[in-house]
Amino acid sequence: MKIALIIENSQAAKNAIIHDALTSVAEPLGHQVFNYGMYTAEDSVSLTYVMNGLLTGILLNSGAADFVVTGCGTGMGSMLAANAMPGVFCGLVIDPTDAFLFSQINDGNAISMPYAKGFGWAAELNLQDCYRKIFENEGGVGYPKERAAIMAKNRGILKDLKSASCRDMLTVLKTVDQDLLKATIAGEKFADLFYPNATDQAIADYLKAL
């Protein structure tokens, strides 16, 4: 699985802590982690939580990532922005129970976490525990198990509802504010990480032409 990490500007100084916690869990399980930044609070490119959502949509819909780990101060803004994108199902994860239930019941493709609220002593241990609950188990198995079938049915209904209410990602890219889009993909490592991994050529071509 290709896992993308995206951090917004107010929490950029914590990138190394979050990245280390994520890779320490994901890589031994055979997953790849791609760090899209921000990397430090002094980065020349600044990502807002709105841009986190747009970038999440780009990465998932293009095939450059299979799962996105993002967040902001409370996690709420990045979650809302991500869920505004087609094909993105992002959960707010604060603790390992949230992570486990989101994985087993909702089987989404992105999580948003609070990196300021409640981020205190041994915060990296909570991050690791959350990532384990997401990545070490098969998603969508259901909890409790006897409700697995209805949960799977509801996920399908939600997916259809999202498809009906959202435009496709290429249309979103063409109609969104182009300055916002350019700023979103201006990260120093975006091109190196994105273009070799993207599988949707139309999306890749449009972004490359900007």
Q: What is the pLDDT along the chain (210 residues), one digit of tens a residue?
A: 999 999 999 999 999 999 999 999 999 999 999 999 999 999 999 999 999 999 999 999 999 999 999 999 999 999 999 999 999 999 999 999 999 999 999 999 999 999 999 999 999 999 999 999 999 989 999 999 999 999 999 999 999 999 999 999 999 999 999 999 999 999 999 999 999 999 999 999 999 999
In the chain, where does DSSP find H-type helix? 15-26, 49-62, 76-83, 96-101, 123-135, 148-165, 169-175, 178-184, 190-194, 201-209
Residue 16 corresponds to which tokens in the numbers above?
Answer: 């190394």
Residue ranges covered by each domain of the chain: 2-209
As a dihedral over the C-alpha atoms of residue 58, residue 38, residue 129, residue 83, rounded to 10 degrees, the angle is -30
Output the pTM of the full model: 0.96
Q: What sign results for the dihedral spanned by CA atoms 147, 152, 156, 158?
A: positive
**Helix%, strand%, coil% for the chain, nearest 5:** 55, 10, 35
Q: In this predicted structure, what is the pLDDT of residue 55?
A: 98
Place of tokens 């989404």: 108
For helices 201-209 and 49-62, the axis angle rounded to 10 degrees is 130
Q: Which fold has domain 2-209?
A: Ribose 5-phosphate Isomerase B; Chain: A, (3.40.1400)
